[in-house]
Copies of this chain bind each other. A is one copy, B any other.
Amino acid sequence: MMKLLISNDDGVHAPGIAMLHRVLKETAQCRVIAPDRNCSGASNSLTLHNPLRLQQLENGFYSLNGTPTDCVHLGTNSPLADDVDLVVSGINDGPNMGDDVLYSGTVAAAMEGRFMGFPAIAVSMGSHSHDYYETAARVVADIVNGMAEVPLRLDTILNINVPARPYDELKGIKVTRLGRRHRAETMVRDRDPFGREIFWYGPIGGQLDDAEGTDFHAVREGYVSITPLSLDMTAQSHQDTLQAWLGTTQK
């Protein structure tokens, strides 16, 4: 039986992680360590300045006063670490496609698993519907069962987005690249009820590149989108241009 470490960024009380656990525990041994609060937008942030504290809840899940990355690090590289075959993060309440992945705590949890040396999957609902978490959980179960059968040797993580529809109505799986979003709308300037100026992020940007081949396109067409994500951010294709520019301008 595979041993899974499950986390998320919506927090230990979110319905997505509950469903993921409910379905995966049928086919794997599961341990859940998740943030005590909603950490949407946490990216790969680490809690470096304050100590981490763990608490086991009545349902057996572990709640941590930290980020998704902290949770996976604690579960894989600490005195509490246990055997792990795979890290699964989600099910996120809403899509993590295109530029979203950079800010996503759900994706970050999977990345941390990969950094610690384990295969890792991030799974998100392709829309903000709450009705089809079971579809997403079953898709992950299929992947996990596939991995138990035939190991998948990739130094990447799998970023999965699942259309909000019944499992039987999925059209299939597409391997995709990340699309691109327009930038978010302008920040909102407001006043708190005491009259002091505050700012909030504006609505997320629309789809700038959602051509065939992107995650946006696949989900819209009813397919599960799987994008392999690299952890090496070096932009190799730009190295020569940069070298030439430096030759011209420096010294």
Contact = CB atoms under 8 A, between A and B. Distances in A.
A interface bracket (residues with beta carbon within 8 Å of B): 35 or more
A71 to B, nearest CB: 11
A125 to B, nearest CB: 16
B43 A154 contact: no
Contacts of A102: 44, 111, 115, 231, 233
Given A233-B230, A235-B229, A241 B154 contact: yes
Contacts of A6: none
B243 A198 contact: no
Interface of A: 13, 36-38, 40-55, 57-59, 63, 65, 67, 69, 73-74, 77-81, 99, 101-103, 105, 108, 111, 115-117, 142-143, 145-147, 149-150, 152-156, 158, 173, 175, 177-178, 183-184, 186-190, 192-194, 196-203, 226-236, 238-239, 241-243, 245-246, 248-250
7 closest cross-chain pairs (CB), A and B: A146-B249, A51-B198, A78-B187, A230-B235, A41-B46, A43-B44, A43-B43
